[in-house]
Structure 1
Amino acid sequence: MNRQTSHPEPAASQQSSTVQLTVRETTTAQLPPLPDPETYRTYFANPHDYMHAPQDAKAGHFQQIVLDLRTKDLFFHGEDWRVPREAQSRIPASGLFAPFHWLNVPDIIYWVIDSGIPVAERPYLTVDEGNAFAHQLAPLAQTLLDHLLPVPGTDALDWSAESASAGRDIEAACTRYQHPPKGRRPELVNMSEAVKACPEIVRPEWAHYTDARLDDTAEYLNRCGLHHHPAIAQALGFGPQTPRASLVGTRAWLYQNRRNAQTLLASQLNTPTVGDAEDTHS
């Protein structure tokens, strides 16, 4: 019997169903007060010992934009700079949007706003300014949400080039320079696009891998796929050494590829051969 492994459809057909994002406005009572700029300036205008600095001088970048994937809420948030970090209930550190590689999608994603007393381009935001900023970013967060990919057979999600690019646009907007969005990054390549451009990267044994081996393969492809298969980047019009270039959505694609292979095999096993059909009608 000639068994073939069918490949998943392009990433767009695998994306999560669209769920409308909500901007949850933050109240003054939910935020710590803004640090006192005069305390900060007085401290740094004189010889100082940072270990004994007043809290206002050590507040740092405590303001954030948070996207909760469980509730589909986007909101402005401020860590309480007056309380030691270990003593407060904080947004999980694992949710920080700092993607060196696109392997996991946390339940809560947050971006640090590059604001502060010494940041002339972007002083600390008031609650009204923070809420307005969250509303400004809502279309980008909606794009991120709409284009996350389900990982078949799990409750997990995976990045796509579209969702990752939207995350980078939010990251850029949170800098002190508030860079405008760039849209889809060409150096981020969906695994489905890579397979279409370079079908030979697909290995037949992937269809039989365990979850653990698929996860290892997804990480390898994400980190090294473009470097080890330069034909992908060449086919898509950029160099494999382009900064921050990466294959994205590798885990979702691999799990879907395995599911497709299992479905195909099951249908072939349940389909009578020509000889079986003749015996049935004899």
Structure 2
Amino acid sequence: MGNTRSQYILSALRGRGTLTVAELSEQLGVSLVTIRKDVRALAVQNLIVRQHGKISLPISTQQSYLPFNMRSISQIDDKKRIAQVAASMIDRDDTIILDAGTTTLAIATEIRGRPPVNIATNSISIPYTLSDSDHLISVAGGQMLNHSLCTAGSDAEHFFRSIQAEKAFIGLSGVWDNLSLTTGLKAEAAVKGAMIAAARRVIVVAANQKFYHSQMFNFCDADKIDTIITTGPTLPESILEQIERYHIKLIYADAEQPDSMETSD
């Protein structure tokens, strides 16, 4: 969304959970009429829920703030389809980066019995999932973020800056209209940025819903993305425009999706 007030409203909801129209009017210094117009526009896009003078985020958006084990069992089918496509891109002896997230955990599960590769990750869950595999796993140190079951901080960033990988599989919490990838924690954004800098190819893995809202911290611009693996329905028009502009390969992993939109690299 290009509307700055709308972005503020969504960001404020992520911090507070629930807000009133009157609070937003006061915080933004605009009339109630103006705020109600913004709220209606957000509600039409299913980005917020209105009820009795208050607004909140939809349950699907709030899932980004659920504990890791609860998020890992949401949208299981979508994550499995994305993981299957991602796994098909991994070759024997590849050096890959697996971001810490529930979709990349699904990728790890998918490649458990496949030929060995070298994996670099800041995930706590992925090494455990692959403990009985033939893969060589290197784990970034740093401070553990309990909510995401991953490591972060300067140690984790330095780890990824010191390696090179063929492919990085990166998750996200949301995007801006210009296809800048975002997450809700500054510490996570810094590590993700280091992962992206370390990889020859950046492959974004995220279900469709992630492309309809945004978080506060940017960690990757569109020109650094090589491939997006997602699910239907079709992504927002503003996102599709950026995909075409930067010649990003777009793959819909759904078995039911009639066509994958692919632009050549």
TM-score, normalization by structure 1: 0.22
Instruction: Indicate the structure whose relative CO is greater, using CA pairs within 8 Å and at least 6 residues apart.
Output: 1
